[in-house]
Chains A and B, each alone.
Chain A
Amino acid sequence: MATAAAQESLFRRPTATTGWWSWVTTVDHKKIGILYCATAITFFVIGGIQALAIRTQLAVPNGTTLTAETYNQFFTMHGLTMIFLVVMPLGVGIMNYMAPLMIGARDVAFPRINAFSYWVFLLGGLFLYSSFFLGGAPDGGWFGYAPLSTELPGNGMTFYSLGLQILGVASLLGAVNFIVTILNMRAPGMTLMRMPVFIWMTLVTAFLLLFAMPVIAVALFELMFDRVYNANFFNPATGGDPVLWQHLFWLFGHPEVYIMILPAMGIVSDVLPTFSRKPIFGYAAIVFAGIAIGFMGWGVWAHHMFAVGLGPVANSAFALSTMFIAVPTGVKIFNWLGTMWKGDLHFDTPMLFAIGFVSMFIIGGLSGVTHAIVPHDAQQTDTYYIVAHFHYVLFGGAIFGLFAGMYYWWPKVFGKLLSEGLGKIHFWLMFIGFNLAFGPMHILGLEGMPRRTYTYPDGMGWNLWNLVSTVGAFIIAVSIAVFLVNAVLTKRKGREAGADPWDGRTLEWSIPSPAPEYNFAEIPIVKARDDFWHRKYVVKPDEQVTPVVAGGAVAAHEDEDDPGHGIHLPAPSFLPAMAAPGLPIMAYGVIYSWPLIVLGGLLLLLALFAWVLEPSEVDH
């Protein structure tokens, strides 16, 4: 390699491996995964506080906790936070840490782009939140329907259009990175049909992101041009069509739903077999169902628009496609039930969250199918029934699944097991609180209580269930506090996990915990699906399962003096964290003053030039 060229670089390469500087310059997928998850959990607490404020306001009729103005900002930011700053990045964080380990790779395909994605995501989130201090947050709903979103005063919805644009850049780059990583970086023998289901779902999610993000990017650009430069995309007075916004938004928005739920489905598909001591039931079926959901997810968007009046033909077509997408989803549910059926079930905390996911997701899925029926949907549109439905899917579904993943993989990431006692308290509190908070919303919705309205009058018969819902919300808050306490206590005096605490089936359990910097001292040769399990157990001809004598020879290289010697790892770099601020600076420029656009653009450009000239590896 051209060492002479490699060493003369714009900056001296960072070398720190510990301390906060190492986190800024890291390109290690594991550190980036931890950064993603920690950031997402912080935003989860912030978005949760907004939810508590909303529920406090709605606990009693004619509530006075929040003004209408603040309420609008809070419910908008709650939605944006939970979708773009919690569920998506939490999934991405877990993918980041686990995907290379599960396919037997040493890193992702583009480590520096991976780091850049994280910094862009973090700064995009901070940009969105900075609006609170700059005259008011977005207040037109996460769906940003025009012409409300184009005409709301203040800069809130401009922050919305630019903030989501920045977050979209991070998602798009992440998607490209994961597609290449999964397709190209698999260990020898890791054929596509031997990949863990989580990896499959990550791949489908990445393709959905790849094709959904450009559509929302266009919608957001059009909104931005309307708001800032007086364009006429959504202005009915000159012939602009607000329904165009809805089409573009939901053409992104419905795949987005699967972008949020598929990673959780993948996690659960790996947790359930481990704690049932059985392989996943119907591997091919669950994989193809996931792919089918990925395809069909593009053909259902107008069910969000039944109230628009697209006409009976369009409505019927989208009603049918929406009912049809329940089929592959149902296939998955039977896969999960079949996996647990006659299994040797172990009810550790990850398993509880996984079962919680399956049961809550069934409720959310069923109420979802009811929306496919157009007349029914016309009744429920804009009521709390919808709020109940999507919280059962995205909280009861995605969040439960992501917590299953966190409890499951925590020992691999930090080397210590989260406390089972506190974990179970967390699960049951969250399970009860969740159902108290969102179950009654079905009834409130059927009784006609409108969503997105900051208060309601007395005497509508809504008082009791609103109060119950508020109590449930606070129980959820307590459960999250239990989780945070658990995390802190585990760091201080948690039980050492060892390499394979759950009798795992996939490659990540074959290496020490926490995973060493180089992941695998030797790249594994994969011979079967659930390869690690097959290394630990032999199935005799009479179907008797016995452990291999040298059972699960975990990380035999551990006692070597310097196991990582000679392994080339991508070198840390300043440039991803230096390039990322270019984007929010440009975005502030759009709002406040155009020279900032030039400045941010130059910063981005120069950092990217330096990036191209900087070799990704350094010779030792």
Chain B
Amino acid sequence: MATELTPAVHEHHTSTGLDNTKMAMWGFLGSECLFFGSFISTYLLYRNQTADGPTSADLYDIPYTSVSSFVLLMSSLTMVLALAACHRSDQRGMRAWLLATALLGMVFIGGQIYEFTEFAHQGLGLDVSPFGSSFYVLTGFHGAHVTVGILMLLLLVGMSMFNRLGSDDSRKVELIGLYWHFVDIVWIIIFTVVYLIPS
């Protein structure tokens, strides 16, 4: 791989040979698995506790959510292309793909905001039923994670534009990529468990 040819100027030697920041990110993502796992368990426990409010069958618009899910999945592809450009030292290409990733993320978030308002109009509030509470809080925290990812992507673009991102710093792109892919995978699980499995 191209990275192996670049002399590791500022890489510190580590006992395992793995990069410190990458190991930290993997650890953090391991922790996140239990975070989303607990919220998903809560949702599974409550998905039929609708307390005479709207049920999931009344609300979910599967074709609509499929499209926004597809948009989010495509952002993983653009993220991979951004990292590949970064490895080629193609800063412009990297910025373009990072921006595309952030943009797809924003489309997804926009879709989620629309979905939330739509559900609220149809009578599903946070305070209506355990189903409502667990739905909004689970998908809301996922949306918050995507938003943090978008901010980090934009920060990367900014750093690259002002030359604060050296060519040996592909690690930063890779780290944020790891986070981004993780958030996407979580969405695949949420989409399957929350939307596709009928109540």
Contact = CB atoms under 8 A, between A and B. Distances in A.
A230 interface: yes
Given A177-B24, A180-B23, A218-B35, A210 B45 contact: no
A210 B31 contact: yes
Given A215-B38, A241-B45, A248-B38, A235 B31 contact: no
A162 interface: no
Interface stretch (B71-79, B107-115, B123-131, B180-188): B123-131
B51 A239 contact: yes
A183 B16 contact: yes
A505 B5 CA distance: 42
A232 B127 contact: yes
A507 interface: no
B101 interface: no
B18 interface: yes
Interface stretch (A90-98, A122-130, A139-147, A184-192): A184-192
Contact of A2 (B14, B31, B166): B166
Q: Which among B18, B28, B31 has the highest number of chain A CB atoms within 10 Å?
A: B31
Given A184-B20, A238-B51, A5 B164 contact: yes
B149 interface: no
B67 interface: no
Interface in A215-229: 215, 217-219, 221-222, 225-226, 229
Contact of B27 (A210, A221, A222, A240): A210
B161 to A, nearest CB: 13
A115 B179 CA distance: 23
Nearest to A5: B164
Nearest to B35: A214
Nearest to B137: A225
Contact of A235 (B28, B30, B130): B130
Contacts of B38: 214-215, 218-219, 248
Nearest to A103: B15
A293 interface: no
Contacts of A221: 137, 141
A331 to B, nearest CB: 27
A205 to B, nearest CB: 14
B129 A184 contact: no
Interface residues of B, number: 40
A570 B141 CA distance: 34
A240 B49 contact: yes
Interface stretch (A39-47, A534-542, A605-613): A605-613
B27 A176 contact: yes
A581 B127 CA distance: 30
B118 interface: no
Contact of B31 (A214, A238, A241, A613): A214
**Chief secondary structure at chain A's binding surface:** helix
Contact of B159 (A2, A217, A244, A613): A613
Contacts of A217: 35
A211 B50 CA distance: 31
A225 B137 CA distance: 9
Interface in B140-163: 141, 151, 155, 159, 163
A210 B20 contact: no
A230 B134 contact: no
A222 B31 CA distance: 18
B68 to A, nearest CB: 24
A229 B126 CA distance: 8
Contact of A233 (B9, B18, B133, B155): B133
B126 A184 contact: no
Given A110-B20, A232-B51, A184 B30 contact: no
A222 B49 contact: no
B78 to A, nearest CB: 22
Contacts of A605: 151
Given A238-B51, A239-B51, A231 B127 contact: yes
Contact of A239 (B27, B129, B166): B129
A612 B21 CA distance: 13
B136 to A, nearest CB: 8
Q: Which among B18, B20, B38 has the highest number of chain A CB atoms within 10 Å?
A: B38
Contacts of B20: 109-110, 180, 184-185
Contacts of A612: 155, 159
17 contacts: A110-B20, A110-B24, A175-B31, A176-B28, A179-B24, A183-B15, A183-B18, A190-B15, A211-B31, A230-B127, A232-B49, A232-B130, A238-B49, A240-B49, A240-B133, A609-B155, A613-B159
Given A221-B141, A239-B130, 11 more contacts: A5-B163, A109-B20, A110-B24, A175-B27, A179-B27, A214-B31, A229-B126, A231-B126, A239-B49, A240-B46, A244-B42
